[in-house]
Structure 1
Amino acid sequence: MLKKLLILVLLLASSPFIAALFIEEDYRVDTQVVIDRPNEQVFDFLRRLKNQDQFSVWAKMDPAMEQYYRGEDGSVGFVSGWRSDNPDVGSGEQEIMAIFPGKRIEYQLRFMTPFESVSSAYITTQALGPNQTEVHWGFSGHMAYPMNILLPLMQVDVMVERDLSQGLNNLKTLLETN
């Protein structure tokens, strides 16, 4: 009886590790919004990382967080960093990796706490007309085995998509009212 109980406990303890073998380690999110402003105006605003403080959900989670910057905002190599005691915010930095004028900005996000990871993000703009721009905000992440078991449990992609969508809606309101 003791032997059967031990086997059952081992099976139960190892089941998350076995399940994690069958769960993707990568996830991608892409959200979009249409803003009633010219593409050039929208892109020029978005290329400056400091402007994200005005519309990003994450920037608003801890108004007291410490922020620092390196380089020239709006150009490749610019780094925007943050440090917060709030575990939902943690610490990290975002760097502009590439700019394709009027079309796309690529970022690298380096999270230090509460978990270390490196992720990619991008913002694209496309003119739909002289005064209308479609903006896409995308993010891709990686959670290695066995931590990838948390992806479906925490619905990481759903949470990130919700925050990006809210940020884009904030951006739309900000740019269309100013």
Structure 2
Amino acid sequence: METTLIVLAVIIGAPLIIALFLSKDYGVEAETVVNKRSENVFNYIRYIKNQELYSKWVMADLEMKREYRGADGSPGFIYAWNGNNKAGEGEQEITGITENEKLDLEIRFKRPFEGKAYTSITTQAVEDNKTRVTWKMTGRNNYPLNLMTLLLKGTLKKDLEISLNNLKNILEKNQTTVPAKSL
């Protein structure tokens, strides 16, 4: 019995002790090159409703309730969702736009965990018909949830890569809905 209690204490206590020494901040980034003009790529990603066609996260629950507030493609636009346990509940807001260069978003999670993350999607002309698209995400997980950062970083990076690959395929096949599809 005593050995069982010690083993149980180590199993529970070790991760909590490790979490004390882990960073609370995280950041992930992925990029791809799209064979399209930079302006065309940016004019597609600036519309958050288009994420329904390429973002792995937005596509996680096709039945989730969606709400839009403001003018899509402009600072202040909010896309809110409420879905199953995989999609959870939250909203993202366009917080800044640098024309033909950068889209800044704040993501506010409500469920399954409360939190905030910040993403930016940048476009940079590599050649006349080639655009580097970089998607970054940063955030903070307070103790003891910062232990999840070890697991999340790899998953988040993979999700960004999948989403960027979806975006690349859509844009290179001219399956775009610029401006954003209307509802």
- In the superposition, the TM-score normalised over structure 2's length comes to 0.89
Measure the CA separation in 2 of the matches of 1:129 and 1:9: 58
Residues 1:147 and 2:121 are matched in the alignment: no
The number of residue pairs the alignment matches comes to 174
Which amino acid counterpart does residue 153 of structure 2 have in structure 1?
D
Over 3 Å counting, the alpha-carbon distance change for 1:5 and 1:48 in structure 2 is closer
Gaps of 5+ in 1: none
Question: How much does 1:148 deviate?
Answer: 1.3
Which amino acid counterpart does residue 171 of structure 1 have in structure 2?
L
Gaps of 5+ in 2: 175-183
Measure the CA separation in 2 of the matches of 1:170 and 1:5: 49
Per-residue Cα deviation, 1:137-158 (whole angstroms, up to 9, x for no partner)? 1111211111112222xx2011
Q: 1:133 aligns with which of 128, 131, 148?
A: 131
Q: 1:177 aligns with which of 158, 173, 179?
A: 173
2:155 — aligned with what? 159
Measure the CA separation in 1 of the matches of 2:92 and 2:29: 18
Measure the CA separation in 1 of the matches of 2:48 and 2:4: 56
Identity between Structure 1 and Structure 2 (%)? 39
Measure the CA separation in 1 of the matches of 2:4 and 2:166: 55
1:96 — aligned with what? 94
Per-residue Cα deviation, 1:78-101 (whole angstroms, up to 9, x for no partner)? 0011000x2110010000000000
SS in 2 for 1:41: helix
Q: Specify the structure having the higher radius of gyration (Cα).
A: 1
Which amino acid counterpart does residue 166 of structure 1 have in structure 2?
I
- RMSD of the alignment, in Å? 1.8
Which amino acid counterpart does residue 141 of structure 2 have in structure 1?
M
- In the superposition, the TM-score normalised over structure 1's length comes to 0.91
Measure the CA separation in 1 of the matches of 2:133 and 2:40: 12
Over 3 Å counting, the alpha-carbon distance change for 1:7 and 1:96 in structure 2 is same
Measure the CA separation in 1 of the matches of 2:58 and 2:130: 26
Question: How much does 1:103 deviate?
Answer: 0.6
